[in-house]
């Protein structure tokens, strides 16, 4: 099944204790696409400016990502600059220049109309609703959000959530949105809005799935060296939805496997800056880490 | 197999967003004992002052804890006072009065000489060495530590670690002790000192086992309401070593099960203040949560 992703394509300047990159390929739709392409055909909708390097577009295309929906607008590309301290769990944003992203309105190429899965990255909830109206026939819809939208557009975000099947958020966002420190209670409030499942991403601590089938928790894949956590959440979403699209059905079993795939793919992303590691990941590497993951976490069911 | 625990018995004053207790029963040896007694006979070595309520001693005794090694010294009992914010992961210590604990030197009753398992809670590494000299014939030795000792006696602590089979620490302590943010690297440095296994406790994020058999990671049991996290780490240690004492053998399988038991028992402790919940836990409740735990974390081994 094909996956349509709507999100950002950016030029990121990132500094961590382990290095620095300037104006490197980034953005939620990029990380998602390069993760999900390991599992299923991916179609991208985003906007870049006149200054966006052609080599980045070529990279996406070479990795099987359909870039027919990548609009090139007048003006400079969206730029984000951030810094991570030794505690790599959260970024300090140094600068955000929305540029062409500020006036972005997603436009679906007609050929995207038959997309079966839809992922809306952490864009404005108003844009998420515009997207939903343009592709009403998707089989599975998922969205992510971020603190900024939770703070300034909580009602619109709640409304968008009510229209999707799966919500992905990080831990602090879920707590903020639901107004409670208890993650279980926050999850219940979010599921009451309508989605069938909520994935709470916990960075280096893994992820939790709350769904109509119950609860599932998975740690992150253990890594000796994390160089740059940028894109981990979107890569997770790409592995997660990518696996579900490949499996072709949403069951308790595939949802759990999808969480592990999300963690596995994200573990590659953070091993290097930008998409340097993610772009080189092979299916064999994914399979190997998945099997290691099982080995690291399985224990005897008998007390 | 019987377990000997050496640690603190305290009167705790604790405030969390969900309530407050004054001079309640606490201390590492108390939490450990009340957790481990679910699995195996427990023998306690600690000191209290003249003011220590007889009812607390009676409670330990009624729960099958051997208190022959509970010394009553002249002076007041060790007191700790702390506060937790909504983020219940770390306590702010408001006051520590060591009192009789300041001049404590563990003395083993002769009848404790045949103890098979030994747990030394986060006491002075000098005392941990005194204990090891007094009970040289234990089959399995484990120790915990804390930031204070890592800061002021790192060499002595390293020396004590080299004499035990299992080291338990929390995440920040392991990183501090090893001088690296990478938990995998910290674990390698600690295991190089000699212990067969390192358990890194991560609070609400679970625990990780590093051992000669490899790596195992478990999340924490999910709880809707945590009222007071005090004693979670020592309860974890009690469930962990208690299960191993009950199983009677240290294998890859039992080590993993023991981690889950540690998490399960700790999940009861934090549901109420002091030992209110822990003292009432039954084996049936433990078994039920263990089975739920498996259900919450198991996923298909096939990619």
CA distance A118 to A241: 9
Closest CA–CA distance from residue A54 to any residue of chain B (Å): 35
Residue B272 pLDDT? 97
Residue pLDDT, tens place only, B207-226: 999 998 889 999 889 888 89
Closest CA–CA distance from residue B160 to any residue of chain A (Å): 26
Residue pLDDT, tens place only, A2-14: 999 999 999 999 9
**Mean local confidence (pLDDT), A21-25:** 98
Domains of chain B, by residue range, sit at 3-297
Alpha carbon of residue A46 to chain centroid = 14
Chain B residue whose CA is closest to A87: B181
Q: Is the pLDDT of residue B88 over 80?
A: no
CA distance A80 to A37: 24
Q: Is the pLDDT of residue A202 over 80?
A: yes
Closest CA–CA distance from residue A2 to any residue of chain B (Å): 20
CA distance A217 to A209: 6
**Which residues of A are less than 8 Å from B260 in CB distance?**
299
Contact A223 B184 (CB under 8 A): yes
**Which residues of B are less than 8 Å from A183 in CB distance?**
222
Chain A residue whose CA is closest to B293: A301
Contact A216 B296 (CB under 8 A): yes
If interface means Cβ-Cβ distance under 8 Å, which residues of chain B face chain A?
Answer: 86-88, 181-185, 202, 205-206, 208, 214-219, 222-225, 253, 256-257, 259-260, 286-287, 290-291, 294-301, 303
Closest CA–CA distance from residue B290 to any residue of chain A (Å): 7
Owner of token pair 């941990």: B128
Average pLDDT, chain B: 95
**Mean local confidence (pLDDT), B106-132:** 96
E strand intervals along A160-241: 166-170, 197-201, 207-211, 214-218
Closest CA–CA distance from residue B68 to any residue of chain A (Å): 31
E strand intervals along A184-286: 197-201, 207-211, 214-218
What's the predicted TM-score (pTM) here?
A: 0.90
Average pLDDT, chain A: 95
Residue A110 pLDDT? 94
Contact A301 B286 (CB under 8 A): no
Owner of token pair 């098979």: B116
Chain A residue whose CA is closest to B288: A303
Residue B70 pLDDT? 98
Residue A58 pLDDT? 98
pLDDT band at B86 (very low <50, low <70, confident <90, very high): confident
- Percent of chain A with pLDDT strictly greater than 70: 100
Q: By C-alpha distance, which of B202, B271, B252 is closest to A298?
A: B252
Closest CA–CA distance from residue B272 to any residue of chain A (Å): 15
Contact A219 B225 (CB under 8 A): no
Are residues B153 and B142 in contact, defined by beta-carbon separation less than 8 angstroms? no
If interface means Cβ-Cβ distance under 8 Å, which residues of chain A face chain B?
Answer: 86-88, 181-185, 202, 205-206, 208, 214-219, 222-225, 253, 256-257, 259-260, 286-287, 290-291, 294-301, 303
Closest by Cβ to A181, choosing from B86, B298, B301: B86
Residue B144 pLDDT? 97
Highest CATH level, class, for A3-297: alpha beta
């Amino acid at each position: 099944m094909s996956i349509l992703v709507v999100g950002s394509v950016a030029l990121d300047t990132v500094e961590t204790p382990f290095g620095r990159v300037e104006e490197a390929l980034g953005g939620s739709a990029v990380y998602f696409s390069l993760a999900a392409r390991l599992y299923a055909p991916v179609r991208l909708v985003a906007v870049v400016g006149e200054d966006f390097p052609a080599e980045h577009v070529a990279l996406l295309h070479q990795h099987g990502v359909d870039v027919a929906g990548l609009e090139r607008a007048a003006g400079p590309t969206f730029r984000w600059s951030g810094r991570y301290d030794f505690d790599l769990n959260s970024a300090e944003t140094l600068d955000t220049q929305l540029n062409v992203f500020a006036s972005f309105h997603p436009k679906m190429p007609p050929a995207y109309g038959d997309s079966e899965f839809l992922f809306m990255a952490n864009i404005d909830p108003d844009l998420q609703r515009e997207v939903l109206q343009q592709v009403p026939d998707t089989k599975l819809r998922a969205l992510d959000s971020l603190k900024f939208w939770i703070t300034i557009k909580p009602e619109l975000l709640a409304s968008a959530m009510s229209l999707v099947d799966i919500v992905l958020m990080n831990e602090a966002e879920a707590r903020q949105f639901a107004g409670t420190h208890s993650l279980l209670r926050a999850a219940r409030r979010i599921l009451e809005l309508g989605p069938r499942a909520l994935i709470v991403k916990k960075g280096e601590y893994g992820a939790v799935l709350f769904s109509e089938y119950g609860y599932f928790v998975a740690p992150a894949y253990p890594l000796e060296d994390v160089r740059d956590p940028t894109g981990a959440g979107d890569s997770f979403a790409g592995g997660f939805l990518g696996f579900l699209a490949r499996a072709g059905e949403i069951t308790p079993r595939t949802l759990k496997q999808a969480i592990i795939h999300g963690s596995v793919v994200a573990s590659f992303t953070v091993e290097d800056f930008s998409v340097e590691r993610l772009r080189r990941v092979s299916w064999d590497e994914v399979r190997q880490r998945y099997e290691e993951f099982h080995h690291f976490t399985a224990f005897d069911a008998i007390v």
